[in-house]
Structure 1
Amino acid sequence: MLKLHLTQPQLSNAQQNFAALDEIPAMQRRRLSLLAKMALQSALTTLDDQSVDYIVWVSKYGDEEKTLRILQDVLSGQTPSPTQFSTSVHNAIAGLYSILCHDDTPSTSLSCEWTEALIEAYAILKAQPHVQKVLVVAYDQALPTVYSDAWDFPAFALSTVVSLAQPNLEVLDLTSSASSGSMSMESLAFYQFWQTADINPSASRWKKC
């Protein structure tokens, strides 16, 4: 069991406007994928005027639509776009944030779910005494339908700042939701849990404190 303090989680979706990105030059902003826009919007909204010492970026699938376009180019005999390739790797959004927002905060990019991201933030806070606050940003969109095991869910980005002082959350179950065969994105389940005031279902892997 872990005890953490989380700021109010910020959820971004595909339907909203991305006002937090207005400071990014329009030419660069237009080149961002929808997934990147959501992730950056959520991160910048959470940060607002505060600073953090570390950032954990997490996504199960990454920007898989770009990877699929590269594979389709290869199959059709075309030369894949170097730009598409450079922004399709799993840590691309972390890199774009650092470049576009002029922020050299150390970061890690992981392929995992929400609880694993909180565990990573907790480990960083415990192992590095100079780190007092960790920004956690989770983002994902459904895999393209060409993948036979794809399942649908709304595209999203969810972020919060994690610290150890004055805990308001207990993580009760440290196992991966993927291992239990869950067919819902854990980040979205957590956001729904967090919005439910003072209710801690017995089956939940989290508890407010």
Structure 2
Amino acid sequence: MKFTYVPPTPQGWAEIQTSRVDFDAHPPVDRLRVCWPLGEANVDRTAVAASLVFAPWTAGRCDFLQPFSALTGQRITEWFQEAPVWVSPTPIRAGGLSLPRGRRRFRLSGDGGDELRLTLVDSLLGSSESDEEVRVASNLSVLMANAPTTAASFAMRLGVAVLVADSLSVNEFIDPEFAAEAPQSFTHAQRLLESVALGLRDA
């Protein structure tokens, strides 16, 4: 699969576009659309987000336009091995690159705590932000409706969260639903997010 990140349009929609190669399956839509002011998203986090969202339809080549770190490439490979599916993430960057360090925690599921809630809503509803909740509009529901497993569905939701993490100054996500329903995938997702300086907890 080839992945291309397209910054937000004047209407506010950013995209991760896909092009099938080799052994890739057909995703229900060829792009993830997110209505949020992302700007030039971090390369490593965009690669992780794309891997989480489009994993069920990706095999073999896993190509991005800009190079990312060797650690991110390694963790992406490990993420797909759980399936088990072989991928070859490219291009790998020589040397490191500083990653954003956020200070906020966001809850993706469950109740309790002082964290803000990050909720993904349908494209037609629009994005919004309040003191308690950030609502991000996207077409993710189309992809989640075709997720082959519960774990894949949780991973897709997490992928969009990773994509918007920079703009929300996120340090850590809390997702007890993912941890309870798919503990093995949750553990792999923790390692994947660790490579891009993001935490993932169950409580």
TM bucket normalised to smaller = under 0.3
The structure where strand makes up a greater share of residues is 2
TM-score (norm 2): 0.25
Largest Rg, 1 or 2: 1
TM-score (norm 1): 0.24
Higher relative contact order (CA 8 A, sep 6+): 1
